[in-house]
């Protein structure tokens, strides 16, 4: 069987920074570029091409993911240069999945048609919420109606795989408003939904607001109720969970993210991008200027690396595999670990049917306790 290598391509630009976001992104004001993303697109893509040329031959590519930031700020013709270079150097599998994240305010039918024509076959829109005051709390600038337009445009442009990302648990969001967001998302022509509980990340504008008491996070029970409601409505609409925070129609799972969760090999391109090859992990310098300076000087942009020990790889295997329906083989756990899990089994947080088949897998209530169950396994 031929080895494969997935690629993550980081586009570190946004028109403005959302208050809750701690991703490695930069605005025009921070970069002093005056919002001219067209010129940035050309020069930045040239840097990505330089980095891709440093990647040794590693087999065909099964998945590519353009993430950010806001990848749809780049020119489709420039993104095509990356795809062409990767195709020429490594080759794509026949069913190569190529995803792009998109802000609904940065696309048109014409742009989506161009993106589809260069080979991108999956698009993921940052919807977050359908409720204006929740979007305002999250510092999102898009109009909810733009999500409706964008998803329909994506279908018209030829995308069969269309996803939306949702965030629940924002301060001031009621259960009824969350249900409104769910219903709006399910009315769209989509094949996939990701839904994440809002996390307060240190160093963000949002974290400062929480610390000052300007916004108050909901309690855990309310957040859990929102997850349960989402799963119920997604499942009723035919979208089944395949990872704790992800649901899809049959055959529409994001294979790129599955590669992460299954510990496969991937290569990251761009500032701050991480890579993982056979237990070695490394990461690039974070700032676009430092990234550009290194590549322009003919240097590798990697800033640091680590070799995962067998113990660390086992911890990661458990952390990730437990989030998937297939779960963990009981035979891969020690007798003490299996005994530790019997309490969760008795409480209904683990599937008894799968346990009897030699598999530790989460029930719906268990998904709410995934982090706690992992801590107990690794204690």
Give tens-digit pLDDT for 299-308.
999 999 999 9
Topology (CATH level 3) of domain 6-261:
TIM Barrel (3.20.20)
The stretch 150-168 carries a mean pLDDT of 98
> Alpha-carbon dihedral of residues 107, 108, 114, 120, nearest 10 degrees?
40
The stretch 184-194 carries a mean pLDDT of 98
Cα–Cα distance, 14 to 26 (Å, whole number):
6
Residue 314 has pLDDT above 60, yes or no: yes
Pairing of strands 359-360, 328-329: antiparallel
Find out whether 59 and 2 touch, Cβ atoms under 8 Å: yes
Does residue 151 or residue 171 have the better pLDDT? 151
What's the confidence (pLDDT) of residue 351?
98
Backbone Cα Rg of the chain: 21
List pLDDT tens digits, range 206-246.
767 777 877 777 788 999 999 999 999 999 999 999 999 99
* Nearest partner of 206 among 175, 173, 171, judged by Cα: 171
Domain residue ranges of the chain, discontinuous segments joined by +: 6-261, 311-378
What percentage of the chain has pLDDT greater than the value 90?
Answer: 79
Does residue 27 or residue 1 have the better pLDDT? 27
Q: What's the mean per-residue pLDDT of the chain?
A: 92
Residue 282 has pLDDT above 80, yes or no: yes
The stretch 139-162 carries a mean pLDDT of 92
List pLDDT tens digits, range 94-120.
999 999 999 999 999 999 999 999 999
Token digits of residue 295: 């590549």
Token digits of residue 14: 């946004």
- pLDDT band of residue 1 (cuts 50, 70, 90) is very low
């Amino acid at each position: 069987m031929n080895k494969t290598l997935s690629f993550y391509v980081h586009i570190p630009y946004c028109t403005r920074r959302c208050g809750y976001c701690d991703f490695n992104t930069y605005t025009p004001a921070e970069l002093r570029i005056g919002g001219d993303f067209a010129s940035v697109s050309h020069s930045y893509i040239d840097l990505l091409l330089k980095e891709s040329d440093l990647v040794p031959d590693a087999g065909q590519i099964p998945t590519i993911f353009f993430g950010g930031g806001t990848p749809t700020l780049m020119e489709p013709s420039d993104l095509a240069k990356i795809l062409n270079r990767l195709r020429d150097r490594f080759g794509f599998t026949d069913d190569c999945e190529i995803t792009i994240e998109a802000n609904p305010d940065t696309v048109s039918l014409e742009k989506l048609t161009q993106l589809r024509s260069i080979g991108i076959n999956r698009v993921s829109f940052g919807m977050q919420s359908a409720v204006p005051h929740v979007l305002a709390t999250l510092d999102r600038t898009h109009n909810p109606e733009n999500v409706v337009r964008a998803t329909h445009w994506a279908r018209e442009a030829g995308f069969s795989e269309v996803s939306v990302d949702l965030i629940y648990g924002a301060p001031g969001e009621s259960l009824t408003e969350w249900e409104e967001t769910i219903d709006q998302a399910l009315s769209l022509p989509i094949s996939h939904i990701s839904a994440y509980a809002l996390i307060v990340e240190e160093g963000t504008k949002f974290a400062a607001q929480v610390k000052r008491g300007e916004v108050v996070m909901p309690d855990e029970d309310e957040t859990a109720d929102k997850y349960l409601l989402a799963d119920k409505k997604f499942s009723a609409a035919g979208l089944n969970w395949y990872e704790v925070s992800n649901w899809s129609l049959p055959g529409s799972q994001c294979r790129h993210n599955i590669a992460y969760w299954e510990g496969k090999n991937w290569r990251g391109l761009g500032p701050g991008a991480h890579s993982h090859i056979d237990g070695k992990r490394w990461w690039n310098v974070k700032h676009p200027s430092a990234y550009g300076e290194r590549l322009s000087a003919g240097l590798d942009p990697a800033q640091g690396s680590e070799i995962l020990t067998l113990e660390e790889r086992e911890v990661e295997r458990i952390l990730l595999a437990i989030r998937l329906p297939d779960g963990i083989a009981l035979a891969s756990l020690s007798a003490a670990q299996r005994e530790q899990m019997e309490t969760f089994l008795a409480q209904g947080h683990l599937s008894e049917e799968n346990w009897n088949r030699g598999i530790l897998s989460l029930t719906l209530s268990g998904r709410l306790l995934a982090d706690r169950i992992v801590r107990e396994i690794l204690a």
